[in-house]
Amino acid sequence: MRPIFVLLRKDFANFFRNKAAVSLTFIVPFVMIYLFGQIFGVNRKDSGPTGIPLAVVNAGDHPAAAKLVAALKAEKSFRVISEFTNPDGTKRPLAEADLKPAMQAPGAPYRFALVLPADLVGAGSLGLKLRIFSNPRNEIETQTVNGMLQKTIFTNVPQLLGESLQANARRFLGDEKFQAFNGGIAQAVARGFGGDPAAIQRAIESGDFGAAAFGNAAGTGNSNPTADFFARIVKIESVQVVGANVKSPAATGIVGGWAIQFLLFALSASATSLFRERDAGIFQRILAAPVTRSQILWSKFAYGVLLGIFQLMVLFCAGRLLFGIEVEQHVVRLLVVCAFAAAACTSFGMLLAAVSPNAEAASGLATFLIMTMSSLGGAWFPISLMPEFIQQFSKLTLVYWSMEGFSAVLWAGQSFVQLLPILGILGGITTAVMALAIWRFNRSRIFD
């Protein structure tokens, strides 16, 4: 036992000496979690970026456009600039022509601008004719701002989208058929859910598919049956993409997914350090002492599990600060799930080292497999967005089961007993993969 402990401590000493490893394990995933949290709009009300200067030009007089401007002004992430100050101090509404000169000037007052043109809901194209101007400092910033803009638009004025669809339908079908079509739907809705067909038809034509409920899924106080009907349909899609009202699963997914992905990287790196130790002849020195080969392997395993638990818990605590994930109530169960997930990840790294001829091959293989498992397993985006046949492969990845475990604890608040199936699967993966790894190690040249 004691050699395992000594070797374990040695691995931690090496780890904390290695700045690249520390940043890959903690800082990089933290940044990814932060960014993706912003992009998917799961930031807590009292955190996240605030007051990003955003110029808004409203060139038309569309009521929904005014509503969107109001929504952007209410959004804490943005500081909306909609007026232009003349040299003499008087103000006028900002115009599109003002944007480029201002944005290109040194010390630009804003680097992002949104233009809502007069033909906002044009019949020429599907969707909204929004124009976004940006002079970003980097790609990630653009993505972040775009994500926040999208979130605001989707959650506040989905009506605009409905309207755009309607405008296109009208152009495509012709006025008469269009009226008949909407009338038919209104009749059907009224028959099925009750309500006044004429009112429903008016609502549909204005693009209001129950949009009131869209941005506020919890508030089902809306008595309009049409609204409820469409709210239910739309909500199904919106859960994954927007996640404004479903903070925890989205945040849990983001934290868990990125944490697991980078844990896999860290642990593969640690397993491939076996090659470096071999090449340096260190195993000769260790094995000349009263230490066995399996003690070396189990020390690596124990190290991986401990590092994994530590990393996952640190990142979930970061998720607590960033997104308000409720960690405290579930600490013990979360620890258990983290331990199982870390064990599965460690065994993966060990197997990788066991089947690879050298460190380069191992890290190449690791990168490929980890990227595949992470995307398939849902670490990058929710797997419900993937085609169904691909979703079946998700279940073959340990990333998927780890994330299932995290959300079972943090989102569904499952008890120990309820967690057993997932723990069983993670434990099974660990056992099978470790058995394979040890079998391979005994045949490999790593200790020669």
Partner 1 sequence: MLQLANVTKRYGNLVAVDGISLEIRRGECFGLLGPNGAGKSTTMSLIAGLRVPDAGSISLDGQSLVAGRADLRLALGLVPQHVALYTELSAEQNLRIFGELYGLRGAELRARIDEALAAVQLTDRRRDLVKTYSGGMARRLNLVAALLHRPKVLLCDEPTVGVDPQSRNAIFEYLERLSREGLTIIYSTHYMEEATRLCSRIGIVDHGKLHALGTLDELLARLPFEEEIRFPADAVTAPFAAALRPHGELTTAENAHRFRPAAAYKLSAFFALAESHGLPGRLFTSQRPTLEAVFLHLTGRSLRE
Cβ closer to partner 1: 280 or 385? 280
Core vs surface per residue 261-295: b (16+ CB within 10 A) or e: bbbbbbbbbbbbbbbebbeeeebeebeeeebeeeb
Q: Which of 2, 45, 137, 443 binds partner 1 (CB under 8 A)?
A: 2
DSSP symbol at 237: H
Structure tokens at 291: 């230490």
Stretch near partner 1 under the rule CB under 8 A, chosen from 2-10, 338-346, 369-377, 413-421: 2-10
Residues 278 to 307 in contact with partner 1, rule: CB under 8 A: 280-282, 284-291
Helix (H, G, I), strand (E, B) or coil at 291: coil
Footprint on residues 6-35 left by partner 1 (CB under 8 A): 6-7, 9-10, 13-14, 17-18
* Structural Rg of the chain based on CA atoms: 27
How far apart (Å, rounded) are the C-alpha atoms in residues 136 and 141?
6
Which residue, 297 or 322, is less far from partner 1 as judged by CB? 297
- Which of residues 289 and 417 has its CB atom nearest to partner 1 in the complex? 289
Interface segment toward partner 1; rule CB under 8 A; list 1-9, 87-95, 103-111, 383-391: 1-9
Residues 183 and 197: beta-carbon distance below 8 Å = yes
* Nearer to partner 1 among residue 10 and residue 67 (C-beta): 10
Out of 3, 122, 136, 324, which residue is the one contacting partner 1 (CB under 8 A)?
3
Cβ contacts of 71 within 8 Å, gap of 6 or more: 152, 155, 156, 157
Minimum CB separation from partner 1 for residue 7, in Å? 8
Query: In sequence order, what E strands does 3-139 have?
Result: 52-58, 78-81, 83-85, 91-93, 112-116, 131-134
Which residues contact residue 26 at a Cβ distance below 8 angstroms, ignoring those fewer than 6 apart?
Answer: 311, 314, 315
Restricted to residues 63-92, the positions that interact with partner 1 (CB under 8 A) are none
- Residue (57 or 286) nearer to partner 1, CB: 286
In the stretch 221-260, what mask flags binding to partner 1 with x, by CB under 8 A?
----------------------------------------
Distance of closest approach, residue 151 Cβ to partner 1, in angstroms: 44
Contact 149, 114 (CB under 8 A): yes
> Using CB under 8 A as the criterion, what x/- string covers residues 163-192 for binding partner 1?
------------------------------
In whole angstroms, the minimum distance from the beta carbon of 346 to partner 1 comes to 21
- Distance, in Å, from the CA atom of 370 to the CA atom of 260, rounded to the nearest integer, reads 10
Residue with Cβ nearer partner 1 (4 or 350): 4
Quote the least distance from Cβ 438 to partner 1, whole Å: 19
Q: Return d(Cα 31, Cα 404) in angstroms, integer.
A: 22
Residue 282: C-alpha distances to residues 12, 76, 189, 298, 425 (Å): 17, 56, 75, 17, 36
Helix (H, G, I), strand (E, B) or coil at 16: helix
CB hemisphere CA count around 68 (13 angstroms) = 28
**Least distance to partner 1, CB of residue 357, Å:** 17
Phi and psi at residue 272, in whole multiples of 5°? Answer: -75, -10
d(CA 394, CA 370): 13
Smaller CB distance to partner 1: residue 19 or 45? 19
To partner 1, the closest distance from the beta carbon of 304 in angstroms equals 18
Minimum distance between the CB of residue 364 and partner 1, rounded to whole angstroms? 23
Nearer to partner 1, 22 or 108 (CB): 22
User: What amino acid is encoded at 295 in this protein?
Assistant: Q
**Stretch touching partner 1 by CB under 8 A, among 3-11, 83-91, 167-175, 254-262:** 3-11
Smallest gap from Cβ 281 to partner 1, in A, equals 4
Binding residues for partner 1, total number by CB under 8 A:
22
Nearer to partner 1, 7 or 353 (CB): 7
- For partner 1, the binding residues (CB under 8 A) are 2-3, 6-7, 9-10, 13-14, 17-18, 280-282, 284-291, 448
